[in-house]
Amino acid sequence: MDMENQTRVLELVEKVGKENVVVVLGGAEAEASGLAAETVTTGDPTFAGPLTGVQLELPVYHIFELKDIIPEDIWEDQVSMMEMVLDVDEIIKEVATYRERNGG
Amino acid sequence: MTNPVVRATSYCLFHAADMVLTHGTTLMLERAKHPDSDFLAAVKEALRPFEDVVAYPPNQVYIGNLTPEELAELPQPWYENPVEPKRLGRLGEIFSLDELIAMMKISDSFDLVALEESFAQKMVEKLSSHPLFTEADLAVLGKTASLQAITELLEKNTAVPLEFQGQVVGCVKQAHEFDANLKADIMFENLAAKASGALVLRHLLWNNDLDPSMVDYIIETSEEACGDMNQRGGGNFAKAIGEICGCVNATGSDTRSFCAGPVHGIVNAAGLVKSGIYKNVVVLGGGAVAKLGMNSRDHIKKDVPVLEDVLGAFAVLISADDGVNPIIRTDSIGRHRIGTGSSPQAVVTSLVTDPLGAVGLSITDIDKYSVEMQNPEITVPAGAGDVPLANYKMIGALGVKQGALQRTELDSFVQKHGLKGWAPTQGHIPSGVPYLGFAREALLSGSIKRAMIVGKGSLFLARMTNLFDGVSFILEANPGKQNAGQAAPEKVVTVGITLSGSEHGLEEVLRGAELAQKRHRGIKVVAIGPKCSTTLAMVEANTEEEQHAAMEELLKTGEIDACVTMHYNFPLGVTTIGRVVAPASGKEVLIASTTGMSAGNRTKAMEKNAILGIAVAKALGIDQPQVGILSVDGALTTERSLRELEKEGYTINWAVSSRADGQAIMRGNDVLAGSCDVLVTDSLTGNILVKMLSALTTGGGIETVGYGYGPGVGEGYQRIINIISRASGAPVIAGAIEFAADMAKAKLPQLVDEELAKAKLLEQEAAEAVQKPPAKPVDQEITGVDVLEIESAAEALWKENIYAEAGMGCTGPVILVAPEDLDIAKQKLIELGFIS
């Protein structure tokens, strides 16, 4: 996760409290999505950004895991094409690993 | 308006190993934070030597030595499976770092680059035989600095080092003491973009044998910005690069849109060419040093060499339609609109399916898509996936959503319409343009019909907008080329020419025939005559009569499609339509007619001549010929009967006389001015006109201008025989051969019958009052019959059971009979009072 986004997540958590924050990822690839999930749970694994050593333990989901709660027309419009293209199962598995490790 | 075509492309790479360490942003940031980091040392260790860079398969694709299709077949990882290291390619060249450094010095207009003496000397020797470097370049390299002077500048922090194989060989100085936009690192970055851009432009011009002065405009599309603290992106790289390349007639400007810059540049260039503002526009981009080693952290981590070790550069020449090179379709430019939205499907819709839909095409009508052509070996280890593959899947998925493809066809779509990526991750460099060179070749060879080039850019990186950007265009085979391709397999038109009978000798006729052969590859000229020395195909026949017999036989068997001859008698009803050049305007005019007779009655003949003249004009490609009637006896009657035809629905476009009264009746002045396309006249007057206009400048002895007396045309007449006179010179003979060939190509006899039918002038009453005796060959002439009685004279002979044809010789009407009937026919005609 890039520095800018790490900063934005940290600022938001400080402002509204981590119980009011859910992170939704849109990564196109399993490994990168997993890294982002790790960053907002156990901290930046690359030791480069402001979340280095910061365990926010935020609930984190990939957009593909939330299909059931998204209105069908919006899903159709915004996500359905990429659902066809990307390795959905692999991405969900990777993100879920970090969420579960987090006890979430 | 013309169509813009992709006339030439060029692709160059520049090995930049040391620059990865000094000017790649990943490494610069690391050095600033951790000067002694293991990562820095690891990158230094993992940099590839020049030989490995040249042997790297994706780089060989970039310069055209391997195709993307061949790359897909090679075993991966490619960096462990090198190919033959060729630095020169069909489409480009791979330069070594020392050459790039030398070019930075050559490109430097402000004495900002200092090169150490011994290095510069080596480069003068190395580059003296390189075709892209000039004497003037070598003289610039002669201005050197001592290593000590360079070291002092580096120690004062007013310059940054130029390193080659770990050694300092020069430096780039700051251009201003305080201006952040002119500091040494920025000057380094901009000079590298300028130098690589200039070398790729030089390569484009040299490799395609183009004169630098032919370039009208240059659009530079890299991702750098040159300017000072008052105008950070003031520009203009384009003009600066053109200057180094001798493009003295060009100006230019810089176009930016992150990675989408090059495709924007090409769309702009296409518009400039299409509008006629410029004829030749070069779109180019030099390399970005900042992106060197961008993903090297991931590469090191995964034991991959530092593959981002080259600068990329490209140049494309967009020119006015030449009938050959592939066309950029300006009626289907795709663009990501501000209101489009940023979901992937909205983006792909706006860039791919919207522009295709605008011209009625489906996604499967594009043979190859060129998207972000990043080399997957660079992007996959960095977690960015296989970028081209992801793009192809998105296009295919959209096709599935829109019903153009079945879900199960997705993989085969990607396989068929996609390409394996090969371009270095230089931002703008992989963005659609790397395939243009291959696309041009594939469209020229006909192996594909259409390609779509898509460029996308991440505008949000500049923090000015969260929007994304993209543009696309379709590149299509040139229909000019297609037509030529279709014409080529067609039979070459074979035109015969009889050699004997000219007042200027057989040599003059032969010269005309050879001239026609030399001028027209689509015509095969066959000489019919006595044995002589010529490169033409020959059919031997000695006398004029034998030559005419041979001509008729060759036409009958189809061995020739048309023939040019002189002193040949057509049957009555057939007349010739001549073609002359009006001396006052150079305009071509058809004279209807010039020999023979289309009908026995003078005004009936002139009426028919008009229709036959129109048919020949149409065979020449003049769809709506303007018709004028020469002011001779019967002109007004002819006009009246033609106006009657109009009333019955036949269309005639009337010409207007150049004289004050402006009528369709043409005077002598109009003949000189060429006031009409078809000049209707009686054949004897027409014959005089052709003679006069063709020999206007020679005093009359030899005809040197025009196309001769034209093809014999008449109802049901199936042969194409063009007439020249005994006075026709070689240029007219060559013109007549060309004229005859055009008539054969246009299938003139068919057009003639169609035109006569339209004018309702076909002879309905085929039944003849007099029973014709059996036909036999007629080659004996009886002259002296009045033109108005010629048909009656022939019929009179039929009543006597003598087969005869009415015809028109060069000197007037003739009755044609067989040799055995000649005497008896003459006697009968005398008895009947037709001749005396």
Tokens of B42: 């690891």
pLDDT tens for B21-43 read 999 999 999 999 999 999 999 99
Residue in chain A closest to B407 (alpha carbons) equals: A84
Are B548 and B568 in contact by the 8 Å Cβ rule? The answer is yes
Residue B258: pLDDT band (50, 70, 90) is very high
Measured between CB atoms, does B491 come within 8 Å of chain A? no
Domain-wise residue ranges, chain B: 12-112+174-482, 490-566, 570-758, 780-831
What pLDDT, on the 0 to 100 scale, is given for residue A101? 75
Element housing B829 (H / E): helix B822-831
What pLDDT, on the 0 to 100 scale, is given for residue B483? 44
**Average pLDDT over every residue of B317-330:** 96
Q: Which residues of B touch A28 (CB under 8 A)?
A: 385, 390
Which residues of B have a catalytic role annotated? 810
User: Which residues are CB-contacts of B233 (< 8 A; sequence separation ≥ 6)?
Assistant: B225, B226, B227, B254, B256
Element housing B265 (H / E): helix B261-275
Are B402 and B351 in contact by the 8 Å Cβ rule? The answer is no
Element housing B310 (H / E): strand B310-320
Q: Which residues of B touch A82 (CB under 8 A)?
A: 344-345, 394, 397
Pairwise CA distance, residues A20 & A59, whole Å: 10
Pairwise CA distance, residues B721 & B702, whole Å: 21
Residue B112: pLDDT band (50, 70, 90) is very high
What pLDDT, on the 0 to 100 scale, is given for residue B491? 61
Q: B133 vs B102, B198, B239, B244, CA distance in Å?
A: 10, 11, 19, 11
Highest mean pLDDT, choosing among B446-455, B517-526, B827-836: B446-455
Nearest Cα of chain B lies from the Cα of A40 at a distance, in angstroms, of 18
Find residue B68's DSSP bridge partners: none
**Average pLDDT over every residue of B7-14:** 97
**Average pLDDT over every residue of B728-737:** 96
Tokens of B800: 């006597």
Nearest Cα of chain A lies from the Cα of B347 at a distance, in angstroms, of 10
Pairwise CA distance, residues B16 & B165, whole Å: 10
Find residue B282's DSSP bridge partners: B218, B317
pLDDT of B766 above 50: no
Measured between CB atoms, does B401 come within 8 Å of chain A? yes
CATH placement of domain B490-566: 3.40.50.20
- Measured CB to CB, residues of chain A less than 8 Å from chain B are 28-29, 31-32, 35, 77-82, 84-85
Q: Which residues of B touch A85 (CB under 8 A)?
A: 344, 390, 393-394, 397
Neighbours of B535 (CB within 10 A): 10
Nearest to B308 by CA among B218, B430, B402, B204: B430
What pLDDT, on the 0 to 100 scale, is given for residue B660? 81
User: Which residues are CB-contacts of B503 (< 8 A; sequence separation ≥ 6)?
Assistant: B726, B727
Please determine, for the modelled complex, whether the ipTM score is greater than 0.90. no
Alpha carbon B630 to chain centroid distance?
Answer: 42
**Phi and psi of B399, rounded to 5°?**
-60, -40
Mutate to test the interface with B, among A46, A81, A86, A87 (most CBs of B within 10 A): A81
SS3 of residue B425 by DSSP: coil
Q: Which residues of B touch A79 (CB under 8 A)?
A: 343
Tokens of B734: 């060559």
The superfamily (CATH) of domain B570-758 is: Isopropylmalate Dehydrogenase (3.40.718.10)
What pLDDT, on the 0 to 100 scale, is given for residue A102? 64
What percentage of chain B's residues is helix, strand, coil (to nearest 5)? Answer: 40, 20, 35
- Lowest-pLDDT range of A36-50, B218-232, B729-743: A36-50
Q: Which residues of A touch B401 (CB under 8 A)?
A: 80-81, 84
Tokens of B508: 């003059």
Mutate to test the interface with B, among A7, A85, A86, A94 (most CBs of B within 10 A): A85
Are B161 and B184 in contact by the 8 Å Cβ rule? The answer is no
Query: Hey, are the CB atoms on B343 and A77 less than 8 Å from each other?
Result: yes
Taken as a whole, chain B contains a residue count of 836
Out of A29, A79, A81, closest to residue B394 by CB? A81
What pLDDT, on the 0 to 100 scale, is given for residue B778? 86
pLDDT tens for B126-166 read 998 898 999 999 999 999 999 999 999 999 999 999 999 99
Instruction: Decide: residue A74, CB within 10 A, 0-12 exposed, 13-18 middle, 19+ buried.
Output: exposed
Query: Hey, are the CB atoms on B398 and A81 less than 8 Å from each other?
Result: yes
Pairwise CA distance, residues B698 & B696, whole Å: 6
Please identify which residue in the block is written with the tokens 């003068």.
B124
pLDDT of B830 above 80: yes
Share above pLDDT 70 across residues of chain B, in percent, rounded to a whole number: 98
Residue in chain A closest to B298 (alpha carbons) equals: A46
Pairwise CA distance, residues B309 & B47, whole Å: 7
Looking at residue B351, the DSSP 8-state letter turns out to be: I
pLDDT tens for B616-636 read 999 999 989 999 999 999 999
Are B269 and B283 in contact by the 8 Å Cβ rule? The answer is yes
Are B595 and B808 in contact by the 8 Å Cβ rule? The answer is yes
Are B7 and B319 in contact by the 8 Å Cβ rule? The answer is yes
pLDDT tens for B217-232 read 999 999 999 999 999 9
pLDDT tens for B475-501 read 999 988 444 433 333 467 999 999 999
Query: Hey, are the CB atoms on A81 and B384 less than 8 Å from each other?
Result: no
Out of A31, A35, A82, closest to residue B344 by CB? A82
Tokens of B712: 């014999």
SS3 string, B712-744, reads EECCCCCCCEEEECCCECHHHHHHHHHHHHHHH
Share above pLDDT 90 across residues of chain B, in percent, rounded to a whole number: 81
Residue A103: pLDDT band (50, 70, 90) is low
Residue B523: pLDDT band (50, 70, 90) is confident
Average confidence score pLDDT of chain B: 93
Bridge-based pairing of strands B812-817 and B780-783 is antiparallel
Pairwise CA distance, residues B627 & B733, whole Å: 26
**Average pLDDT over every residue of B248-275:** 97
pLDDT of B673 above 70: yes
CA dihedral A48, A50, A55, A61 (to 10 degrees): -90
Query: Hey, are the CB atoms on B390 and A77 less than 8 Å from each other?
Result: no
Are B280 and B302 in contact by the 8 Å Cβ rule? The answer is no
Nearest to B320 by CA among B486, B450, B480, B90: B480
Residue B600: pLDDT band (50, 70, 90) is confident
Instruction: Decide: residue B597, CB within 10 A, 0-12 exposed, 13-18 middle, 19+ buried.
Output: buried
pLDDT tens for B40-54 read 999 999 999 999 999
Residue B417: pLDDT band (50, 70, 90) is very high
Strands of B508-621, DSSP E: 523-529, 537-540, 562-566, 570-571, 575-581, 588-596
Q: Which residues of A touch B397 (CB under 8 A)?
A: 81-82, 84-85
Out of A78, A80, A85, closest to residue B393 by CB? A85
- Topology of the domain comprising B780-831: Alpha-Beta Plaits (3.30.70)
CATH placement of domain B12-112+174-482: 3.40.47
SS3 string, B789-801, reads HHHHHHHHHHHCC
Measured between CB atoms, does B407 come within 8 Å of chain A? yes
Please report the DSSP string for B742-757 in residue order.
HHHHTTHHHHHHHHHH
Please report the DSSP string for chain A in residue order.
--HHHHHHHHHHHHHH-GGG--EEE--SSHHHHHHHHHHHHT--TTS-STTTT------EEEGGGGGGGS-HHHHHHHTHHHHHHS-HHHHHHHHHHHHHHTT-
SS3 of residue B539 by DSSP: strand
Highest mean pLDDT, choosing among B412-421, B647-656, B757-766: B412-421
Strands of B97-220, DSSP E: 113-115, 159-164, 167-173, 217-220
What pLDDT, on the 0 to 100 scale, is given for residue B485? 37
pLDDT tens for B534-560 read 878 899 999 999 999 999 999 999 999
**Average pLDDT over every residue of B721-737:** 96
Under 8 Å CB pairs connecting chains A and B tally to 40
Looking at residue B120, the DSSP 8-state letter turns out to be: H
Are A50 and A7 in contact by the 8 Å Cβ rule? The answer is yes
**Average pLDDT over every residue of B468-481:** 91
Bridge-based pairing of strands B167-173 and B159-164 is antiparallel
Q: Which residues of B touch A78 (CB under 8 A)?
A: 343, 345
Are B488 and B480 in contact by the 8 Å Cβ rule? The answer is no
Q: Which residues of A touch B344 (CB under 8 A)?
A: 81-82, 85
Please report the DSSP string for B675-688 in residue order.
--SEEE--HHHHHH
**Average pLDDT over every residue of B638-659:** 91
Please report the DSSP string for B477-499 in residue order.
--HHHHHHHHHTTSPPEEEEEE-
Measured between CB atoms, does B343 come within 8 Å of chain A? yes
Please identify which residue in the block is written with the tokens 């190919």.
B83
Alpha carbon B727 to chain centroid distance?
Answer: 40
Start-to-end CA span in chain A (Å):
20
Nearest Cα of chain A lies from the Cα of B366 at a distance, in angstroms, of 20
Tokens of B277: 């503002």
Residue in chain A closest to B382 (alpha carbons) equals: A32
Are B196 and B288 in contact by the 8 Å Cβ rule? The answer is no
**Average pLDDT over every residue of B737-757:** 94
